[in-house]
Structure 1
């Protein structure tokens, strides 16, 4: 009997640990949203308190600020990737692509500070398996658009990413005015004539 009880306690602990981790990441995401993505302003003791855990629990899951930022990034990236199928189910492919690009661009805007806060080595170690997911999501949108005759056949993921690169040059003060126009120009360029 005793062995069974220990196994159950271990499972409960693992479930509780997973719940703690999820609360910590969610609290970090909420704090990052409050600071408009400024990672330097992310106070780990504030995150721990908001998650209802001690700082020791936070550090057991995330030994550095970069590890916590990486987890928040992965969760938000998953939301972006997971948004593709519902958008395609509700909208024509080019409209779905437009809506998804707006989400992606807004995400990139808010996360400028997060990305800048992560050192190159940490970026390689913590994010190396993530970027292909965005490429795959964008590829699915483009493929659906091509199949529907809405997107030019010669366009690929790299073309769109290169076009989106111009957004990094927009000053925050011009963001609201310029981004909708730039997205519209990109979509017009992707449209099959």
Structure 2
């Protein structure tokens, strides 16, 4: 699927600030892909669709996750985590996107996971640092993204875990596994 068609599809589903966020993620993902050697076209499509299910009602997201046979434990965690796996399922079912790299980049863009692929790191980080984002730690993560992709993703995951701990919120196991993966596999 080409960029124009993908943006047209997403633009019908997502409006306003969420659509502007999506465009920021697309631009950021392309830059990161080009800088770190990920496939530009895959990064572009994954970024365009990463929040495709973001605005769906919780009940609909739950039904999609059940239909897609996602891990039931996901439903125990905050619904904010559901839109990635739901979007991946919708894209495969409704738009015949079969590229597992793209689908997994969308599926794990909020949680991360152990041993993330290059494309998964690009989409995760692009979502975190796109220019419209403004929160403590984002500028430091942006600076790291200019120097070292793994260090930047590790920083984003670390910041996310710290934020959730501060809120006394549950942390999805994939996020801990992503963190540990970077600890064990890099000089982070």
Shorter-chain TM-score above 0.5: no
Query: Which structure would you say has the larger Rg?
Result: 1
Q: In proportion to residue count, which structure has more helix?
A: 1
**Alignment TM-score, normalising by the size of structure 1:** 0.28
